[in-house]
Amino acid sequence: MGQLISKSQLERSKKEEKFVLLTAEQVRKDFAMFGMDVEFSGNVVFAYEELFNQLKVYIDKLLSTDSEKLMALLYQIDLSEKELSKNDPDYQFETIPEIVTHKILERELKKVLIRTYFKEKGQT
């Protein structure tokens, strides 16, 4: 399913307001299911940084205190261990929480793109 979306499509979508807003809403929804509140100002330009900084705090805490909850969250997001272990040389993250957080945001965007694709395909 990850091959359905090219890297260039993913990068372009990160800049489109529609997809940024839908991704932020998806993140908020998934994290809320586990009692974690994620705020989003609506600023599309700084959306990645805004969400990344909040999620990284949650991921860091879950990694050190509640691995079961983290695994349940990753399952909800549909982020497999295989995807987590893939190394992307384009991104330079220093810590595991940063890597996991980036992968979460990327997966949430992919979910939005796939959902949008099939929704639009069904309307034609």
How far apart, in whole angstroms, are the C-alpha atoms of residue 5 and residue 54? 26
pTM as predicted: 0.89
Asked if residue 50 lies in contact with residue 44, where contact means CB atoms within 8 angstroms, the answer is no
- Most confident of the ranges 54-68, 75-89, 107-121: 54-68
Mean pLDDT of the chain: 90
Alpha helix (H) residue ranges in the chain: 7-13, 17-32, 47-65, 67-77, 81-85, 96-122
Residue 91 has pLDDT above 80, yes or no: no
The domain segmentation of the chain, as residue ranges, is 2-117
Is the C-alpha dihedral spanning 100, 1, 29, 46 positive or negative?
A: positive
